[in-house]
Amino acid sequence: MSLPALVIVAAIILGALSALPMLAWAIHCLRRAGRRAEGASILGAGVLAAALLMVAGALTAPPGSAGVLRPQAFVVIAGAFGWGAAGGKVLHVVGQWWRGRRAHPAP
């Protein structure tokens, strides 16, 4: 296997392993009144990434193929959710930092 293929496989596996903790954290945040925006950004970004990957997979699958319904595709979709959820968490943290910075400008 070539190095780029190994990097892609590692990225998919890391995303899939982070999908369940990110989903649990999003649900935890959605259940707390002060953290609902964080939970919504994590869950929304993860679902958006997974949905985009599923649509792309469905549109590019050859006729008669199982496409996104193969067991391997579920791991890739979970990886996309994990990376998207992590991106949503980063966007939320940057947004909080930006709002805090603008609310209390430096002297």
Segment 62-100, tens digit of pLDDT = 888 877 778 888 899 999 999 999 999 999 999 988 888
The pLDDT, as a whole number, for residue 106 is 62
Coil, strand or helix at 7: helix
- State the Cα torsion 58-59-62-64 to the nearest 10°: 50
- 27, 39 in Cβ contact below 8 A? yes
Specify the amino acid at residue 66: A
The pLDDT, as a whole number, for residue 16 is 92
How high does pLDDT run on average in the chain? 89
| Each residue's pLDDT tens digit, 46-62 | 999 999 998 888 888 88
Query: Residue 102: which pLDDT band, with cuts at 50, 70 and 90?
Result: confident
The pLDDT, as a whole number, for residue 74 is 87
Label residue 26 exposed, middle or buried (CB < 10 Å: 0-12, 13-18, 19+). Answer: buried
Cα 40 to Cα 78: distance, rounded to the nearest angstrom: 18
